[in-house]
Amino acid sequence: MTTGQAAAAAPTRAERDALDRALAIAARGPRGLNPQVGCVILAADGTVLAEGWHRGAGTPHAEVDALSHLSAGAAHGATAVVTLEPCNHTGRTGPCAVAIVDAGIARVVYAVADPGEASSGGADRLRAGGVDVVHAADDRADALVDDWRFAMRHGRPRVTVKWAQSLDGRAAAADGTSQWITGPEARAHVHRQRSLHDAIAVGTGTVLADDPQLTARVPLVDGSDDPGAPQPLPVVVGHRDVPPSARLRDHPRRYVQVHGLPGEWLATLWREHGIQALYVEGGPTLASAVVAAGLADRIHCYVAPTLLGGPRTAMADVGVATIDEQLLLDDVRVEPLGRDLLVIAVPRPATIRPAATAAKEG
**Each residue's pLDDT tens digit, 91-118:** 777 789 999 999 999 999 999 998 866 5
- Is-contact 62 26, C-beta < 8 A? yes
pLDDT band at 359 (very low <50, low <70, confident <90, very high): very low
CA 179 to chain centre: 28
pTM for the model stands at 0.87
Find all residues with CB under 8 Å of 227, minimum gap 6, and list them: none
Task: Give the torsion through C-alpha atoms of 351, 357, 361, 362, to 10 deg.
Answer: -170
User: Active-site residue numbers?
Assistant: 63
Query: pLDDT digits over 285-319, tens only?
Result: 999 999 999 999 999 999 999 999 999 999 999 98
Q: Provide the 3-class DSSP secondary structure of residue 88.
A: coil
pLDDT of amino acid 355 = 44
Q: Domains of the chain by range and CATH?
A: 13-146 (3.40.140.10), 155-357 (3.40.430.10)
